[in-house]
Structure 1
Amino acid sequence: MLELPRLRVVRGVDMTEVTGQTEYALRRAGVSQVNTDATRIWLGKVHTPPGYASEAHHHGEAETAGYVLKGRAFILIGEDYRERVDLEEGDFVFVPPHTPHIEGNASDTEELIWMTARTPDNIVVNLGRADQ
């Protein structure tokens, strides 16, 4: 008999950091292949300390949706990451597959928290520091 995936509740205190990571963008998975039966979606929170930005990276074949839950963010894209997109609490963003970017905290005093969903999984391809 075929075993069907089961409904699974992951409490906030039980989120896992066993997922793709980028320096200064700590990802915690709420729904992932690690802690649920999910096979085509990843959902979690990304925390960035005040004044910091991630390394340059992309998410491979994954489509990414982001929501600024707390704080102010920016995303750098394009040639030499010169194009800047600013986001405030309540803003959503879509990042297409294979799009190199840097995500950062626009505040020097407040933590930035994103809600992020990806499909099929949290693929993280780190490209290194943009200033190297």
Structure 2
Amino acid sequence: MRKGNVVRASEVKTLFVDETYSSKMLIDRTNSATQNVQINMGIVAPGAKHADHNHPAEYDELYLIMKGEGVVRLDGQEYDLSPGDVVFIPGGSYHAIANRSDTEELVIFTVWPKHPEEGANFVYDQRIQEWGKSYVTIHD
């Protein structure tokens, strides 16, 4: 039987991708018994706008909007976002996110239904390159 666990976001090390985005890996196969899900906490800086990008067709993604106001672009169509909103991003689709506030962070949880292979998610790859693993606490 697999055992559950609790991860405290305040104890997870932040990966600073660039001045517009930072990331905390909350759940993946390195810190829990899951083989089927990956959850990341993404922080979009005030006023930041990201360019359209996609990932391989076999990787659907969900955004859960936790804090702030944003805009997501899905294959050219824009949607306003508020806390509690959920965005389904089919694998292979072009998407981008922007923070509508110039003063507050936009906090999102991103959920992947499986762990990305190398090259599927540049943030996951950056984490492995910088730390040698995907999950690091502030105590490591």
Normalised to the residue count of structure 2, the TM-score between the two structures is 0.70
Q: Whose strand proportion is higher, 1 or 2?
A: 1
Corresponding residue number in structure 2 for 1:103: 97
Matched, 1:49 2:45: yes
What secondary structure sits across from 1:57 in the alignment? coil
Distance 1:22 1:58, change over 3 A: farther
Corresponding residue number in structure 1 for 2:138: none
Matched, 1:58 2:74: no
Matched, 1:24 2:20: yes
**AA of the residue aligned to 1:6:** K
Partners of 1:35 and 1:68 lie apart in 2 by 23
Contact 1:23 1:55 in 2 (8 A): no
Identify which range, 33-42 or 68-77, moves more after superposition.
Answer: 33-42
Q: CA deviation at 1:42?
A: 0.6
Corresponding residue number in structure 2 for 1:90: 84
How do 1:112-123 residues align onto structure 2 when only pairs under 5 Å count? 112-121=106-115, 123=120
Matched, 1:76 2:73: yes
Partners of 1:31 and 1:54 lie apart in 2 by 24
Which runs of 5 or more structure 2 residues have no equivalent in the other structure? 124-140
Distance 1:84 1:124, change over 3 A: same
RMSD: 2.5
Q: CA deviation at 1:22?
A: 7.6
What secondary structure sits across from 1:98 in the alignment? coil
Q: Whose helix proportion is higher, 1 or 2?
A: 2
Which runs of 5 or more structure 1 residues have no equivalent in the other structure? 127-132
Q: CA deviation at 1:96?
A: 0.6
What secondary structure sits across from 1:13 in the alignment? helix
How many percent of aligned residue pairs carry the same amino acid? Answer: 24
> 4+ residue runs of structure 1 moved beyond 6 angstroms?
none
**AA of the residue aligned to 2:23:** R
Partners of 1:7 and 1:37 lie apart in 2 by 7
Corresponding residue number in structure 1 for 2:137: none
Normalised to the residue count of structure 1, the TM-score between the two structures is 0.73
